Amino acid sequence: MEQIIESVNLILLSGPAVLLPENPLYQLLLLLLITLGGVLITISVHLIPVGGAPAAMAQATGVGTGTTQLAAGAGLTGLLVAVSIYLLSENPLLCILLGGIGSAIMIAIVMLVSNIGYIYGIGITPASGKAVRDPITKDRQDIYVSKGTEGHGIPTAAFFSGIAGGIVGGIGGSLIFVALLKATGLPTAATALTMPDAVILSIALFFINSVIASYNIGGTIEGFYDPKFKKLPKAAIVSAIITFICGILCLFIMIQFAGFGLMEEFA
Amino acid sequence: MSAAANLNKSDVQDKQNKSGKAAGSEDKKFFLLEKTALCGLFVSLAGIYIALLISIRPAAWTTLPIAPFTFTVGIGMIAAIVWAAGAVRKISKYGLGTGVPSVGMFGIGIACVISLFVVSLNMIWSPIIGAALALIIGWISGKLINKPLGMNIPGMENRLAEITAGCTLAMIASFVVVTGTVSNLFVTWGFLMRGTIALCFIGIAVAVFHAYNANLGPDEKEDRTRMLTILDASLLLLIFSVTALFLRKETGLEMSFQNMADMIGPVVTIFMSIVFILISYYKFWTYVKRDAWKITETGLLPSEEDLN
């Protein structure tokens, strides 16, 4: 009986074992980097040509799927590249840049394959419904748009805008990942222990920010020349606030998980 | 004369009822005092705490209890998912414009961060703190999405808070189903390092948004959607309990689960989830047949002779 009471007291009164960061300024810098990464993800979703359900029926310009899925697919590829590069070379800058390029390759493949499907499968010419002339090639667009649709396929300007979006989004996701890994203060050989935490938290932040951007543009956007692109500052502010709140929690998680005696007992 | 009087009376009663309903809907209840919210919050918290307190037995590696009988947590997980899916239904009925999955992914994103945060605190109060924190952060983000972003959906804050809290409780419950505790160390080694967290992330998100996304339309009925949610959640629970069985059989948590008696929790959870799957599938099928205008058979595939 005494044992039970003792264990009850032990359980109920055991406070949180909080490990405070040794260098608060360094953690603050990392928090700002995480916030910057979140804002970059929001900008990237505004650049990618997303058509949603209408584009799946070739009735709107862009790739025929939702913002969240498209951004997450590209972002997760970038994150995969970033993780592999971080394990190969310990250079954070190289990891961030190559993460962006991995994302851009993924989004370029998606746009190319869906364009092949639109052109040779459905038989339409890629044309923008929002601009009279293509901002890059200066070709006329409005005479090629089918009646009753808002454009179809992925024209040149939207394609380049999507590649730029992929680079920006991949850089944002990899920035969050590297900042979270650096928060632990462990040597590089031990990062495999905290890698799952950093990866799952950066995926979570990626989804949060892509949904915020998706709510701002209302589901569809064509690229940097779309009138909806001017609504970007609002989404950037909201994304910065929510990523800042979540970033505090994320840094706390990384410090706790890394320093909780995992090394001594299991390594 | 009497019939006319009765008619008048019934008219008056109808009017009174309508006015009463209108007055009731004007001064709305606080959103956490609604029946679905209370049910989801308390059943899931009770499921987690019954399992944690049924055997107060601190292991050698942690001060927190490790639950052998985890089947009550399974019921708690299903209740939390049903709560969140009900909120997804209410918010998506208004029309989001970006598809139903987006709100589910937003909820699970915040829930993942919060549930890992409260687990890293290493306390017995972690589930309660997680629910409170999720309600607060979900409400703040709903307010931000409504006002500066200009979504202007009535009740966005409350519903987003409910979705976030439901996803958080479901995620903490899945930690307990698989590892048997909310301890920092066990969750890291049993859940994060083995990659179960990825399944948990996308599984709970799909269970939350799939039911309304699959059933939406003018003939959408609440009981049919809820039954499909229970079916999804039971399938997820089956996967988690099989994971828990193999996790406890192998290494990792062996130090605390040396007795065969500790395998009772996962085995009972497997059978319980199979029973839930069968019952909810049967009930969902009866609801589909009730709501369908006509059910026709498509016939067999044409044989080779017919094609020639």
* ipTM score for this prediction: 0.87
Residue A62 region by backbone torsions, left for phi larger than 0, else alpha for psi between -120 and 50, else beta = left
pLDDT score of B88: 92
Around B92, how many Cα atoms within 13 Å sit in the side-chain half-sphere? 28
d(CA B264, CA B54): 14
H/E stretch holding B219 reads none
**Helix/strand/coil (H/E/C) assignment for every residue in B47-114:** HHHHHHHCCCCECCCCCCECCCCCHHHHHHHHHHHHHHHHHHHHHHHHCCCCCHHHHHHHHHHHHHHH
B56, B50 Cβ separation under 8 angstroms:
no
Q: Which of A11, A196, A256 sits opposite B63 (nearest CB)?
A: A11
Contacts of B58 in chain A (CB under 8 A): 7, 10-11
- pLDDT: which is higher, B1 or A34: A34
Q: Which residue has the higher pLDDT, A204 or A51?
A: A204
Which residues 6+ apart lie within 8 Å of A198 measured at CB? A177, A180, A181, A254
Interface test with A, best of B52, B108, B120 (most A CBs within 10 A): B120
User: Between residues 39 and 68 of chain A, which touch chain B (CB distance below 8 Å)?
Assistant: 52-53, 66-68
User: Between B29 and B241, whose confidence is greater?
Assistant: B241
Residue range(s) defining the domain that contains residue A219: 39-258
Domain count, chain A: 1
Asked if the structure places residue A12 within a domain, the reply is no
pLDDT exceeds 90 at position B257 = no
Of the listed ranges A79-83, A214-218, B173-177, B183-187, the least confidently predicted one is: B183-187
> In this predicted model, which residue has the larger pLDDT, A111 or B33?
A111
- Dihedral sign computed on CA atoms, order B292, B295, B301, B307: negative
- CB contacts of A218 in chain B (<8 Å) are 97-98
- What pLDDT sits at residue B109? 94
The residue type of B107 is G
Kindly report the average pLDDT of chain B as a whole number: 82
Three-class SS of residue B204? Answer: helix
Task: At A203, give phi and psi (nearest 5°).
Answer: -65, -45
Question: What are the tokens at B207?
Answer: 């269970």
Nearest to B137 among A72, A245, A262 (CB): A245
Q: Is the pLDDT of residue A256 over 50?
A: yes
- The model's pLDDT over A15-73, given as tens digits with 9 standing for 90+, comes to 445 555 567 788 888 999 999 999 999 999 999 998 888 888 888 898 888 887 887 78
Is 50 exceeded by the pLDDT of residue B297?
yes
Q: Is residue A83 part of a domain?
A: yes
Contacts of A154 (CB under 8 A, 6+ apart): A49, A61, A62, A63, A111, A114, A115, A118, A126, A162
pLDDT at res. B250: 57
Tell me the range of A127-136, B92-101, B161-170 where mean pLDDT is highest: B161-170
Q: Is this structure's pTM higher than 0.90?
A: no
Residue B147 forms contact with A (CB below 8 Å): no
- Pick the more confident residue, A196 or B261: A196
Give the pLDDT of residue B22. Answer: 45
Residues B242, B200: contact at Cβ < 8 Å? no
Higher pLDDT, B126 or B186: B126
Q: Given this model, what pLDDT does residue A262 score?
A: 46
Mean pLDDT value across residues B140-156: 87
pLDDT for the residue numbered B249:
64
How many residues comprise chain B?
Answer: 308
Count CB-CB contacts under 10 A for residue B1.
5
Residue B19 has pLDDT above 50, yes or no: no
With an 8 Å Cβ cutoff, are B98 and A68 in contact?
yes
- In the prediction, which pLDDT does A263 show? 43
Does residue A20 fall inside a structural domain? no
- Higher pLDDT pick, A49 / B248: A49
pLDDT by residue (tens digit) across A79-127? 999 999 988 887 889 999 999 999 999 999 999 999 999 999 989 999 9
Chain B residues touching residue A65 (CB < 8 angstroms)? none
pLDDT band with cut points at 50, 70 and 90 for residue B128: very high
pLDDT at position B63:
63
- Kindly report which listed range (A1-10, A89-98, A195-204) carries the lowest average pLDDT score: A1-10
Sign for the CA dihedral angle at A75, A81, A87, A93 comes to negative
Look at B58 and A260 and tell me if their CB atoms are within 8 Å: no
List the structure tokens of A218. 């209302």
Residue A3 is assigned to a structural domain of this protein: no
